[in-house]
Amino acid sequence: MSSYRVSIDIGGTFTDCTIVDEAGAVTIAKASSTPDDFSRGFIDSLEAGAQHLGITLADLLKDTARLSHGTTVGINAVVSRTGSRVGLVSTAGHGDALRILNSEGRTNGQPVERILNYAASSLPERFVLREDVREVNERIDSFGDVVVPLDEEGLVNAVQELLDQGVETLAVSFLWSHLEPRHERRAKELLDARFPDLYISYGSQLARRMGEYPRAATAVLNSYIGPLMRDYVTRLLDRLREHGYQERLLFAQCDGGLVDALDIVERPVMTLESGPVGGVIASQRAGAEVGHEHIIAADMGGTTFDVSVIADGRLPVRDAVVVEQHDLFLRMVDVESVGAGGGSLAWVDPQSGALRVGPQSAGADPGPVCYGRGGTQPTTTDADLVLGLLNGDNFLGGRMKLDKEAATRAIAQLGDQLGLSVMECAAGIQEVADSLMEDKIRSMTIARGHDPRDFTLYAFGGGGAVHAALFTRGLGIGRIVIPVGDLASVWSAYGIGLEGYGRTYETPMFMRVPLDHARVAEGYARIEQLAREDAERAGIAWDTLVQHRSADMKYALQVYDVEADVPAGDLEAAAMDEIVETFSRTYARRFGEGVGYPEGGIDLMGLRLVVAPADPLRPVTATESSAQADAAPIGERDVYWPEHRAVSATPVFNGPSLPAGTVIEGPALVDYPDTTAVVRPGLTLAVEPGGNLTIELGA
């Protein structure tokens, strides 16, 4: 009997599944995502995986030791505004914090062209209506002392008023609750007793950090998607139980750890952008196996192109994010996206007459025109097919046929508007999409002080291997890695399977340097006890976890704080000096030498503890293949190469049969069941002993 490790990532177009057996062999499966009920696509992908293994779904689930899942249910509800109607209860006098938006809501998180053109910007759509806000008398000051007691009767009456006018869920966020949460705790006792079925989020439970607006916004977003996620988790667990699965279902979080499904019901906001994080984790660990410390992780999926930058082998993590122009206190692996995926729609700007691609997407339904599901507007995938880069007869390993004639007609109609031939228009779609991807990488590297020439780019997702040589060409990157061949197409799902139990704990602590080591040690002891209790509830042995400590610090007269590592072991006076030195180096590395102001003093703002597996899973070095080793081409395909401005017969290789050491000169195509590696003219692809494909760009 095998013991499988199964991981599933739901994207906007496809639901990806990886199944790893005890020997490390990986089985790949894909199914169309089902936006009307994502749990159907989840089960469909499991069915496809079971078929690949030649067993029933019931047998697969019976032998599954761990099932982990990254979901887009929450972020889809946020973007499409299909969450619950939320009421907000705040401290008297502070009910408009969400409306004020820290005075930067019009341009918050917007691209530079929107920031520079103020007239084109707009305030974000609110997640809380003004009439759905109630203020309650209570006040705790900045020292954590109660100034005005909580008006308990007023609180209950305010919530009842909100429910009477149609509010479905509730967020409670009081001033200074991160420092002293006693009023929010009392509110929870009262409201749980009075409204036991009401979904309620509390700011102090989600973010123990100073910042009235982002803390309240985090609580609101949590309640906005809470009932939707609760229903999804319940429905998914019921479906799994029907098919015989009795183990725990683990959900990926945006900070890179896995938690039980029931924990996600309470903190669904932690699932936002959890899927793309899996690909970053897989890239980091795969890079460590081959000595790549500086990695650009580039994931081209069906809806978006996601980028993350790994420097010195460390996952990039940020403590605050912008979601739909709202600031949230979410600790998240730093991934940024642009609407340039395979399903991104091509269109003509009515004002400029220029060709545009995205951010609108055809999604899973109807999908690109070539899917034959009713789509009429061409996409990047349609362009790739018309150019000859994709094998329409063997898409997804033959499980799906692509209609090249329909894609050609759609692109021809678009080309007529632009005065371009079919091939010129298809190449133009590709050019525009790749320029968007290149710009996103540039903003994540050069704009942040990283030289892309020092990095290796890991290209994955269904379209990563197709487009990588184009969206890297202007950046000076010397090498592209397509991880383990076909596994690249489901790399994020595979990365979710590599994740382990992980939680982050924070506590506010304001202190001016010199630091009191006894207070710091006491603060860490307090949050470590919380971590131990959570691990015990989750059935995780404490000695299987490793703890990483850090502190948020800043120069007293400056605005932005940075995260500084805190040494392991006893926190004596010498350790305090080391913390300050680490902060100074970190600040200089991020903002530049000499920009700090130590003469004004240095402030400690908060403590953080991250727990993670002490022995993390290592990535596979090669996938199993039934194909016989053969480095010869299996045929040719007519491809339009813009470099030559002509169609030419291009050799096609069968990726799974290529032995290690194979070197292929471009132009060439390497077909896998779920992706195609495109070797453009003048480039060289090599098959590495570990299964990776590398393309040398000769920067």
Q: What is the pLDDT of residues 286-309, one digit of tens each?
A: 999 889 999 999 999 888 888 999
- pLDDT given at position 275: 76
Percent of the chain residues topping a pLDDT of 70: 95
pLDDT tens column, 645-659: 899 999 999 998 899
CA distance 543 to 506: 21
CA distance 285 to 274: 17
Cα distance between residue 642 and residue 644, in whole Å: 5
pLDDT of residue 558: 80
Residue carrying the six token digits 């479906």 = 239
- What is the average per-residue pLDDT within 569-597? 89
Band (394; pLDDT cuts 50, 70, 90): confident
Dig out the tokens for 264 from the structure: 């996600």
How many Cα neighbours within 13 Å face the side chain of 502? 23
Domains of the chain are 4-77+234-271 (3.30.420.40), 82-230 (3.40.50), 503-613 (no CATH), 635-696 (no CATH)
Across 155-164, 269-278, 687-696, least confident range? 269-278
Kindly report whether the global pTM for this prediction surpasses the value 0.85. Answer: yes
Q: Is the pLDDT of residue 382 over 90?
A: yes
- Asked if 381 and 343 touch (Cβ cutoff 8 Å), the reply is yes
pLDDT, residue 449, reads: 82
Is residue 552 predicted with pLDDT exceeding 60?
yes
Which region among 82-86, 105-109, 281-285 has the lowest average model confidence (pLDDT)?
A: 105-109
The average pLDDT across 10-24 equals 87
pLDDT band at 110 (very low <50, low <70, confident <90, very high): low
Q: Would you state the pLDDT for residue 359?
A: 83
**For residue 105, what pLDDT is reported?**
66
Q: Does the pLDDT of residue 624 top 70, yes or no?
A: no
State the pLDDT at residue 262: 87
Q: Is residue 360 pLDDT above 90, yes or no?
A: no
Residues 167-203: pLDDT tens digits? 999 999 999 999 899 999 999 999 999 999 999 999 9
Across the chain, mean pLDDT equals 89
Judge whether 173 and 202 are in contact, CB under 8 Å: yes
How sure is the predictor about 317, in pLDDT bands with cuts at 50, 70 and 90? confident
Q: Does residue 247 have a pLDDT over 70?
A: yes
Alpha-carbon distances, residue 227 vs 203, 234, 264 (angstroms)? 17, 10, 11
Name the residue with higher pLDDT: 315 or 199.
Answer: 199
Q: Are 471 and 698 in contact (CB under 8 A)?
A: no
Q: Which one has a higher pLDDT value, 159 or 339?
A: 159
Average pLDDT rounded to a whole number, residues 142-154: 93
For residues 227 and 197, give the distance between their C-alpha atoms in angstroms, rounded to a whole number.
11
Q: Which of 530, 532, 507 lies closest to 519 in space, CA to CA?
A: 507
Q: Stretch 662-688: mean pLDDT, rounded? A: 93
pLDDT of residue 561: 84
Question: Lowest-pLDDT range, 231-235, 321-325, 458-462, 475-479?
Answer: 321-325
The Cα diameter of the chain in Å comes to 80
pLDDT at 535 exceeding the cut of 60: yes
Please give the average per-residue pLDDT across 612-629, as a whole number: 67
581 CB contacts (<8 Å, ≥6 apart)?
Answer: none
In the structure, what pLDDT confidence band is assigned to residue 33 with cuts at 50, 70 and 90?
confident
3-state SS, residue 361: strand
Q: What is the mean pLDDT of residues 579-586?
A: 93
pLDDT at 1 over 60: no
Strands (E), 432-581: 456-460, 479-482, 503-512, 545-555, 562-566
Structural contact between residues 12 and 364, judged by C-beta atoms closer than 8 angstroms: yes
State the Cα angle at 269 between 264 and 275, rounded to 5°.
Answer: 80
pLDDT of res. 361: 82
Picking from 109-123, 178-192, 328-342, 481-495, which range would have the lowest pLDDT averaged per residue? 109-123
In degrees, rounded to 5, the angle at the alpha carbon of residue 576 between the alpha carbons of residues 573 and 582 is 150
> Bigger pLDDT: 61 or 341?
61
Out of 10-19, 252-261, 356-365, 421-430, pick the least confident: 356-365
pLDDT exceeds cutoff 60 at 625: no
Work out the pLDDT band at 210, boundaries 50, 70, 90: confident
317: which DSSP letter? E
Of residues 448 and 482, the one with the higher pLDDT is: 482
Q: 498-534 pLDDT, tens per residue? A: 988 888 999 999 999 999 999 999 999 999 999 999 9
Query: What would the two tokens of residue 586 be?
Result: 């970190």
The confidence score (pLDDT) of residue 680 equals 94
